[in-house]
Amino acid sequence: MIIRKGDKYYLYRVTSKWNPGKKMAQMKAGEYLGRITPYGLIEPKAKRMLKRLENISVKEYGASFLLYRISSDLIGIIKRGFSGMEGDICICV
């Protein structure tokens, strides 16, 4: 469904449901899909922001490397004592 407010046009998803009392289908505006412009549909800001967040990845090196270097002697002891399980054991310094 397209709704005009002033000089702007907005697009909404529409659903319809049969109303037995009125014996006709009734339309109901649903999800807001965006604003219609001469250049095309502009999605809502929330959807645009979520699309930007999909490609973000966090890579952390410094603190993990420091802890690994500090605890390298403990890692050797754990590998000898718990062979095969060293990846499941957490060392808190």
Tell me what pLDDT residue 29 has.
81
59 within some domain: yes
92 within some domain: no
Q: Which domain holds residue 9?
A: 2-85
Total domains present in the chain: 1
How does pLDDT run along the chain (93 residues), one tens digit per residue?
A: 888 999 999 999 999 899 899 889 998 888 999 999 999 999 999 898 888 888 887 777 788 788 778 877 877 777 777 777 666 666 554
**Residue-wise burial string across 56-88, b where 16 or more C-beta atoms lie within 10 A, e elsewhere:** eeeeeeeeeeeeeeeeeeeeeeeeeeeeeeeee
21 within some domain: yes
Tell me what pLDDT residue 86 has.
60
Tell me what pLDDT residue 87 has.
64
91 within some domain: no
Tell me what pLDDT residue 91 has.
56
65 within some domain: yes
Q: What is d(CA 23, CA 80) in angstroms, rounded to the nearest whole number?
A: 78
